[in-house]
Structure 1
């Protein structure tokens, strides 16, 4: 191997896919097992394939779409190499890899990346590792049965999709905890950090996950809940505007009136007088 940082015990295999495979299957192009020093770095604007990588030892740093990921031992990386990307070994690292493509690759990638990013933990998933081993063994023996390899790749994608669904389920439970906190504490001066703590996530990650599931930010959800509660009080009680302001968690009457009007195009007083 002449590539910088790739050690001599590394292996690389080549396969030229058939026209049928290109038309109908997930198809293999390159694959191998690399043993690398921390000098190993790959940076490309475009490489016409998708990449599967299993980190067996060490640590890789991944840069993709202005985000940074760490892939440590027992991590699985799925990258769209048609877009600019970079990855580098942070220490002595061993990883299995395949470059592949196929008609459904982009759709699967977009689905998985949107849900979970490009790095997955597979510490307890031996099925994915077995499928990768089977693909590499076929490539090493120069006996690639294209239909079988396509099935292995599809099964890996299926396993990743299941993992993403599990992550979504856990995330949604965290979001429900946060919603319960918002709806029980909306009348106080709660902060984003307080809500994120209920979900067990950092404020940045929590905001991203919250918006993914509810199509609004945590702040927007809080304001909407306060406004809806204010509407109920305006229509169903004789509380003054000032009392409703503080009951709904707003810190001043002018601020309450401003936010209420932004959401309803009416002042609280005009809303109270509406005939329903």
Structure 2
């Protein structure tokens, strides 16, 4: 990337720790047809969607959120939520409350994108906050520090998303399609059609930019999503296989075992034993 393009990317947004009041995190599943709000947002809140679907109306403007995305909600805005009509909608959230922020920080906050792809780092921070809150308070220094790390991670990931667009346009188009349609039956010809190149050329581009093939990337992405659902929900292995694009529950179990060295049952048992001990 040339220097002119680099200068167009904003500097990391820093939130002052001394103005941080508290930080909270949680996980919730809404049944089909669920609604929430309207409400006036009091915090800087990050909402991470894992299954189902969600439409958030912010100041009268609807934002449709898909699984695998994180949404930034900003203080003072009126919001309402509508969840999937046909299936459970599972999301987690981090909320961080500050005293009055510097004007420059406020302006930079409102310039950030409303939605980004959900990263493993954001997931990890959410995991840690939820576990600490099971035995502590939203005012504990450790919880507050993790909340601060999450809201500072979001603008940095916004930068990374801008850099991602500097990849070959066909690779970027394929990555976006995979992240939005991984639960469907995706083939290399369909993926290359969406990317606007031949299947052979898309494979060459992926090996150059991602060090893997498009279909290998797709299955790696599906495995990551399946492990998240195993760890954080009570869905059966069969249900998770259906939601993540696996042909059967045995297919899911085999790929999870290959990727982690543990069976799906072991991953779930370790996760829930950790929650109970906390």
Per the normalisation by structure 2, the TM-score is 0.46
Q: Rg bigger for which structure? A: 1
| TM-score computed with the length of structure 1 as normaliser | 0.46
